[in-house]
Amino acid sequence: MTPVQPSPLHRYTVALLLAGASFVLIPVASAQSNHAFQMARVKYDGGGDWYSDPESLPELLRFVRAETAMDIAPEPEIVELSSDKLFQFPYVYMTGHGNISLSEREALRLRRYLLGGGFLHIDDNYGLDRHIRREMAKVFPDREFVELPFDHPIYTIHFQFINGLPKIHEHDGKPPQGFGLFDDGGRLMVFYTYESDLGDGWEPEDVHDDPPDVRQSALQMGANILVYAMTY
């Protein structure tokens, strides 16, 4: 699947939106002062490999900076949910293969972060699903993940994915699914990518030997998620 390339006008419009949106979501100065904003990878307890695919985010950010004109820092930070630094990042990313454990305090802080305007992308690297669903129920015991329809803007905001998430790695052979948690106003706070494994697709070409079109789809979907988070 090769998504349609965005028009130059669309890129310019996105750039303008981001220029005005960067400091609206979280009322704290950017973590990297010479860029509009910076993203961070969440470090968590429980034994899961929160650090998996170490080159994935720099590769994605390189692509996003080239393809969307977003003024995002080229390197991600690492943040723990117990740190006050969490509130400096409008967008945080979580991945891994295994167990994740959130303390009561971490769950409350993550809830505060998300309800305050932050955005979390959870990317199942295979084996995360039952653990992350259990822990996110601590964060939002009153909300459940719902699958996003293919016409949701996150799939078309910059690159076109009319059939939803791209399939990057097979794993269990299930179709890829994108799930969301929404606030009371209908804003998507958490986007959970399942059976897709975008992070593996963002890694350099020689890491997983993904075909060029598959890797391109992963990068384009990653760009869509960032653009969506920062414009909505």
pLDDT in tens, the chain (232 residues): 444 444 333 443 344 344 444 333 444 444 456 999 999 999 999 999 999 999 999 999 999 999 998 999 999 999 999 999 999 999 999 999 999 999 999 999 999 999 999 999 999 999 999 999 999 999 999 999 999 999 999 999 999 999 999 999 887 889 999 999 999 999 999 999 999 999 999 999 888 788 999 999 999 999 999 999 999 8
CATH value at residue 125: 3.40.50.12140
* Domain housing 191: 8-231
Q: pTM of the predicted model, to two decimals?
A: 0.87
In a domain, 58, yes or no: yes
Instruction: State the total domains in the chain.
Output: 1
Alpha-carbon span 177 to 193, nearest angstrom: 6
- Please state the φ and ψ torsions of residue 176, each to the nearest 5 degrees: -70, 145
In a domain, 169, yes or no: yes
Helix (H) or strand (E) holding 65: helix 56-68
Cβ pair 5, 161 in contact under 8 A: no
